[in-house]
Chain A
C-alpha cells in the first residue's frame, strides 16, 4: 500500500477582526479552487485539524506533494467574507507534535 506523506501547516490569520473556522476554510477552499480548479483542489486534500479563534491560529493538513499548492492558495487569500485578512504560514512539519514544538521555539512577536 502506498503511504501518503502528509504535511501540517500552522497558519496565522492576520486580521483586525475575529474569523470563525467555517469562514476560514471556505476562503481557503475557494482560493484553491479558483487557482487550481476542482481537480487541483481534490488533489490538495486539505483539512482543518485545529482552529484557535482567540490566538488567530489554524492548523491545516495537506499532502507532501501539494504543499506548494496549499502555500500559494493561502497566500492569495485577501478577504474572508468582507473582512480584509492576510494568511501567513508560520511553520510546516510532518507531524502535529513536531509542528507544536516548532511553534513553541518561534520567537514571540
Chain B
C-alpha cells in the first residue's frame, strides 16, 4: 500500500485562495497526499473552497485550528466551542498550566511548543506521561531549523532532542510538520525525515512522524466527526424500523 505523507502545518493565509492553490499543487508535486492549514475562524465556505483547490491539486485536505489560550479555563472553553468543527486541534502551549491541561484533554490532537525561547521547555516527563494516557501527539515544526543559524539553532536542536527523547520514552507519537508560510521553504517528506535525524529521530520513527502518525490523527477524527459515530468502538450500522 502506498504511504500517506502529510504536512499538517502549512501556515498559509486562508483568505488568499490563489496562494493556497499554488501551495497545494506544490505539496502534491513534492509527494504529499494530505495537507492541513490552520484557520483563524470557522468558515464552511472557506473550507469548501480549500477542499476544491486540494481536489484539483490531487491532495487531501484537513481543517485545523491552532489554539493559543492564556489559561487552562480558556482552553477548555475553546475546545468545547471548536472540537466538533475542525478535524485537527493543535494547542500552542505558551504556559505550563495550558500545556498540562492540553496534555490531559482527549480532545487535543497536537501539542506544539513554540521554540525560539528554549527556557520555556514545558514538554517534560510529567507532560509526556499525561499525553501518553490521552491522544495528544507532540508536533515539531521544521521551519525554525531552516531559518535559524548559529547558537540559536544549536539551542533549538538541543531542546528538540530532549523533547523527542522524552516523547519516545513515554510512547507519545511525534508529528513532524513544516510550519512554513513561504512555499520556498517547503521540503519533501523524506527531507523532513532527514532533518529529524538532527534531533536524533531517525529511520522508521522519522518516517512514521511524517506519514503514519499524522494520518492516524486525521483518520480517527474524521471517524469521530462522522454522523455514524456514537462513542469510541460504537457506531451506527443501520437505522430505521427494520433494525
Contacts and interface: CB of A to CB of B under 8 A. Distances in A.
For the complex of A and B, list the 3 residue pairs with the smallest distance between their C-beta atoms, beginning with the closest: A75-B191, A71-B194, A72-B194
Contacts of A86: 184-187
A61 B117 CA distance: 38
Contact of A84 (B29, B149, B184, B195): B184
Interface of A: 14-15, 34-35, 68, 71-72, 74-76, 78, 84-86, 88-89, 109
A35 B195 CA distance: 10
B133 interface: no
Contacts of A84: 182, 184
B29 A109 contact: yes
Overall SS of chain A's interface? mixed
B166 interface: no
A40 to B, nearest CB: 12
A75 B195 contact: yes
B202 interface: yes
17 contacts: A15-B184, A34-B149, A35-B198, A68-B194, A71-B190, A72-B191, A72-B195, A75-B146, A78-B184, A78-B185, A84-B182, A85-B184, A86-B184, A88-B187, A88-B188, A88-B191, A89-B191
